[in-house]
Structure 1
């Protein structure tokens, strides 16, 4: 089931974000992700429109939307490759007819996922926070 984020979901969502970020971005020091936990919990997630995916009795993934941009789409590492990310993205596409996001170039699995979902590459640049190359991608109905 997919539903809007509730206040009581925030800690579980941040936990998913953290574990999935560490797993997907082995090329970035874990300390960086740790330093971002508080801003994710207190600023980024609360200021975005966020939907969560329930699998059994827990949240297994989430997607956030902010002003045409997807700042977060994360699935718990134990629940990846089950179609959850696709379902979350499909839900967002039902509300918006144009979406953009960035993905690290070294995260080839996520990059391939977004291409399969109809996103196209617009530009590549270095991330100001990590120094790693990121790809700006866009999708339109």
Structure 2
């Protein structure tokens, strides 16, 4: 466990966190990306996170007072997911998640985000990530133009 300011703890997710992880993901996605069509229903997202992501990937949660308020998923040097409950943005949790990701992948990280997500671009660029590739979205399920970011120490 990684304690931090405001009594928010970062820890590895366990099976019992899957529903809360899905709730954070769904709220965050819908709030941050209102113009992006989700490729899967709420139930499909919940099943995928419960059956595939939490048990099979390096999944971390941010927990405050016993409630999951953020999630991060690492797949080697790929930061595949980083979502915060909308009410918990701007409190340094994303900064802590990225510091942890860089510690876990000291040779570098890459990630994808949608081109319409300006706040995410600013956040990652502030943390040393640089845009490496832009696509028309034909390679993602949402068919939404995206950008690949890389961080190298």
Q: Report the TM-score when normalising by structure 1.
A: 0.91
Equivalence for 2:3: none
2:117 is the alignment partner of 1:107 = yes
Pairing partner for 1:120 from 94, 108, 130: 130
Tell me, what secondary structure is at the counterpart of 2:48?
A: helix
Tell me, what secondary structure is at the counterpart of 1:87?
A: helix
2:13 is the alignment partner of 1:5 = yes
Equivalence for 1:73: 82
Which one is further off, 123-132 or 105-114? 123-132
Contact 1:123-1:135 at 8 Å conserved across structures: yes
Contact 1:2-1:52 at 8 Å conserved across structures: yes
Q: Hey, what's the Cα distance between the residues in 2 that align with 1:126 and 1:36?
A: 24
Contact 2:109-2:150 at 8 Å conserved across structures: yes
Instruction: Give 1:87 deviation, angstroms.
Output: 0.7
Output the aligned Cα RMSD: 1.6
Alpha carbons of structure 1 residues 25 and 33: separation in structure 2 relative to 1, 3 Å: farther
Q: Hey, what's the Cα distance between the residues in 1 that align with 2:45 and 2:19?
A: 13
Instruction: Give 1:10 deviation, angstroms.
Output: 1.0
Which one is further off, 105-114 or 32-41? 32-41
**Structure 1 portions without partners, runs of 5+:** none
Q: Hey, what's the Cα distance between the residues in 1 that align with 2:144 and 2:67?
A: 33
2:143 is the alignment partner of 1:131 = yes
Equivalence for 2:61: 52
**Structure 2 portions without partners, runs of 5+:** 1-8
Say how many residue pairs are matched.
141
Q: Report the TM-score when normalising by structure 2.
A: 0.85
